[in-house]
Amino acid sequence: MDAAGDGAPTMTFGLLGPPGRVVTVLDQRDHAPDLNLDQVVSGITRDREDGDALEGLLFERSRDVELVGYRHEVFRDLEDPGVWSALGRFSASVRDVVSHLSQAGAMRVVEQRRGWTLDAGAIYCAAVGELTRELSGLELRSRGMLGFRRYLDAYARSELFERLQAETGECKAALAGVSYCVQIDGPRVTVTRYAGESDYSEEIQSVFKRFRQGAVRSYLVDYRLWPGMTRVGEETLELVVRLFPEEFALLAKYSEKHASFFDPGVYRFFRELQFFIAYREYVDPISAAGLGFCYPEVDSRSKEELVEDTFDLALAKKLVSEGKKVVPNDFRLDDGERIFVVSGPNQGGKTTFSRTYGQLHHLAALGVPVPGRRARLFLCDQIFTHFNREEDPSLLAGKLESDLLELQRTLRAATPASIVIMNEVFSSTSLEDARFLGAEVMRKLLELDCLAVFVTFIDELASLAPSVVSMVSMIQPHNPSERTFKVVRGPADGLAYALAIAEKYRLTYPQLLERIA
């Protein structure tokens, strides 16, 4: 959508990044299903007309520390209820404008098409005027919002916008004065100028008003979703146009002159704003449930990390909607530490921890608030994931061979700035082979000096090197079959608690013999 004519101010603002700054972004999606990021992105973009554009933005990560901080500033401005409500109303109005213009383009009756364009122009002028007034009285701190406010002030005072506003009002006023009567006599329809005749609909309502007792149920039915006109409506409109040639000539002139009234700067602001609004709308219900979000400290060089009270965003969205509890976790990487080895009983939160770790680094590189009360994170260049999957019978190679080939590709593509997340990748082979292969892969990762999470049943890997951090999923001390879903730093204990689970469900050998007898 282009500006109509000259006089618009120069665009020197941006919400998604500093204007004029060239930022390298990486659109990487291979890891999304393993980390459940596909669920997060789908939840953010669902039922949004701009979903495809938003999806692209939500997969574009950057290692630019300034870009991340720039977006944090905008999110902080949106925390002001006044700013949030003002931008929400503006966004809803612009969506109405876009919807009007889209539907008008598909209408076959030219006068109706022009009328919808006029209505869109009126909504647009009102939205721009209201937002200009509201932002002038709000305290903004972000460079993105301050830059747009300056742009909007200049645009609202420009001759271009003032002319659009005046001519929109003039045309609306002229058409508001169009009044006519329709007389129906069998198949004959007569349209005349209104000359003070009685309005029978008002008389009927007045007569029956005396019988009304309180609120009544409406039996009106919306049976048409398409705003087009019937043949009778089209022919009636044609007669009305003949009766009021001056008014409709003014409408025709307006539509031709302001066919592209949308200012490109205002439209760009609306499009970029959706990134912030959509993410906020997704996480707000989770935050309202008592779970925290924070603006992480990010660094593209230091690999020391610290996160408190974090959680799997996709899982939290599901549990909160079901009214269930979400268990947060902490983790840290001190100087020289690089790899988390996560062990412990099954169904104890190990896989969730690995997903959370990957999600955090993806979200941090987007410049959005991340799950947690406090976070310091490394900005990685790529995220590689290897999760245990069922064997694919269509592949000529066996599962172990496929896993090894995939890991080989990862180790060749990864850099010291990458993150590798592996979840039970060698569960299809023997314990001895899994121990050997796991140790070899970890040595390669240590040589590479990248960050990694290794979820495994092989406890020995947790003590392979000083730069390896052991994390263990915990159980209830008084009931080993009950998981706490807490994953904490600590030495691997080598206990899978399989016997406790079997006892809980009466599946031990003595219990089975007793039940069979």
Q: What structural domains does the chain harbor?
A: 63-196+230-280 (no CATH), 289-516 (3.40.50.300)
Mean pLDDT value across the chain: 89
Q: Tokens 């689970």 label which residue?
A: 501
Structure confidence by residue, pLDDT tens digits, 139-149: 999 999 999 99
Q: Look at residue 314 and give its three-state secondary structure.
A: helix
Residue 487 class from Cβ within 10 Å (0-12 exposed, 13-18 middle, 19+ buried)? Answer: buried
* Mean local confidence (pLDDT), 82-98: 97
DSSP 19: T
Sign of the C-alpha dihedral computed for residues 55, 61, 62 and 66 taken in this order: positive
- The least confident of 239-248, 405-414, 418-427, 472-481 is 472-481
Rounded to two decimals, the pTM is: 0.86
Q: Which residues contact 404 (CB under 8 A, 6 or more apart)?
A: 437
Percent of the chain at pLDDT exceeding 70 = 91
Structure confidence by residue, pLDDT tens digits, 327-352: 999 999 999 999 999 998 888 899 99
Radius of gyration in angstroms for the set of CA atoms belonging to the chain, rounded to a whole number: 32
In angstroms, rounded to a whole number, what is the distance separating the alpha carbons of residues 408 and 402?
Answer: 10
Higher-scoring residue by pLDDT: 389, 464:
464
Q: Which pair of tokens denotes residue 138? A: 């709000």
What's the pLDDT band for 4 if we cut at 50, 70, 90? very low
DSSP 511: H
Residue 427: per-residue pLDDT:
76
* Mean local confidence (pLDDT), 41-51: 92
In angstroms, rounded to a whole number, what is the distance separating the alpha carbons of residues 390 and 355?
Answer: 19
- The identity of residue 135, as a single letter, is L
Higher-scoring residue by pLDDT: 457, 97:
97
Q: Over 80: is that where the pLDDT of 267 sits? A: yes
Tell how far CA 349 is from the center of its chain.
26
DSSP 116-128: HHHHHHHHHHHHH
Q: Over 60: is that where the pLDDT of 6 sits? A: no
Q: Are 307 and 293 in contact (CB under 8 A)?
A: no
Of 385, 470, 479, nearest in space to 32 by CA: 385
* Mean local confidence (pLDDT), 31-39: 96
Q: Are 189 and 182 in contact (CB under 8 A)?
A: yes
Structure confidence by residue, pLDDT tens digits, 158-205: 999 999 999 999 999 999 999 999 888 888 889 999 888 877 777 888
Q: Which pair of tokens denotes residue 401? A: 């061979």
Alpha-helical (H) ranges within 289-327 are 313-321
Q: What are phi and psi of 350, to 5 degrees?
A: -65, -50
In angstroms, rounded to a whole number, what is the distance separating the alpha carbons of residues 444 and 458?
Answer: 17
